[in-house]
Amino acid sequence: MDVTSVLLEKKIVAIFRGITDQQADAAAHALVDGGISLMEVTMNTDGALPIISRWREQWDGIAYIGAGTVLNVSMAQEAIAAGAQFLISPNLDEDVIAYGAERGIDVWPGVMTPTEIVRAWSAGAKLVKLFPMGFLGLSYLREVRAPLNHIPMMATGGVDLNNIADTFSAGASAVGLGTKLVRPDLLARGDYAQMTANARAYVEAVAGDFVTKG
């Protein structure tokens, strides 16, 4: 099973950005305990590459570890060398998609317009990241998904427990969750048990009948 297939089954990518090593390790453990199976460390996080490398060893066979905010081929090269199993970008760079494909690494590029979505799909992306969803809104997702329902879309930005059912009903195939899972308030007080419980709530939410199968 490739990583995109895993994402389409599990539905959630947890996004780690701007977090210290110690907090990252504890938070990752909490999220895995809560049922999260895919975790992304953004490349603009200090120590991102060592974290990816360490987590690949620690969570091998349990969770998939990827790199986020991969803006170009140079960053893709560094991330894959560190052990990233998937790459996520806020932008569309066909060269990054090709670089990953040549190495068996799935790339989920950031897109906004129908033109970008189709370009990413034509370049070989198996799934695209619709970003920023917090700004675009569910009506946009619903409308752009209608003519492009053969292309799986991950909604990133603005998704929480209150609207996650509506997000999938609007056509999302997966969601990217940052501070809703890696919550700053829980990190600040070291409440990793609550972080696990919160993660479990999201995992249970995406198991609902509203989830699309695309």
- Predicted confidence at residue 210, as pLDDT, reads 52
- Predicted confidence at residue 213, as pLDDT, reads 41
- The count of structural domains within the chain is 1
Q: Is residue 144 a part of any domain in this protein?
A: yes
Residues serving a catalytic function are 40, 129
Q: Is residue 106 a part of any domain in this protein?
A: yes
CATH of the domain at 14: 3.20.20.70
Q: Residue 178 is part of which domain span?
A: 3-205
Q: Is residue 214 a part of any domain in this protein?
A: no
pTM of the complete model: 0.94
Q: Is residue 10 a part of any domain in this protein?
A: yes
Q: Is residue 45 a part of any domain in this protein?
A: yes
Q: What is the DSSP string of the chain?
A: --HHHHHHHH-EEEEE-S--HHHHHHHHHHHHHTT--EEEEETTSTTHHHHHHHHHHHTTTT-EEEEE---SHHHHHHHHHHT-SEEE-SS--HHHHHHHHHTT-EEE-EE-SHHHHHHHHHHT-SSEEETTHHHHHHHHHHHHHTTTTTS-EEEESS--TTTHHHHHHTT-SEEEESTTTS-HHHHHHT-HHHHHHHHHHHHHHTTSTT----
Q: Is residue 109 a part of any domain in this protein?
A: yes
Average pLDDT of span 28-41: 98
* Local confidence band at 125 (pLDDT 50, 70, 90 cut-offs): very high
- Predicted confidence at residue 212, as pLDDT, reads 46
Q: Is residue 83 a part of any domain in this protein?
A: yes
- Predicted confidence at residue 1, as pLDDT, reads 63
* Local confidence band at 66 (pLDDT 50, 70, 90 cut-offs): very high
Q: Is residue 213 a part of any domain in this protein?
A: no
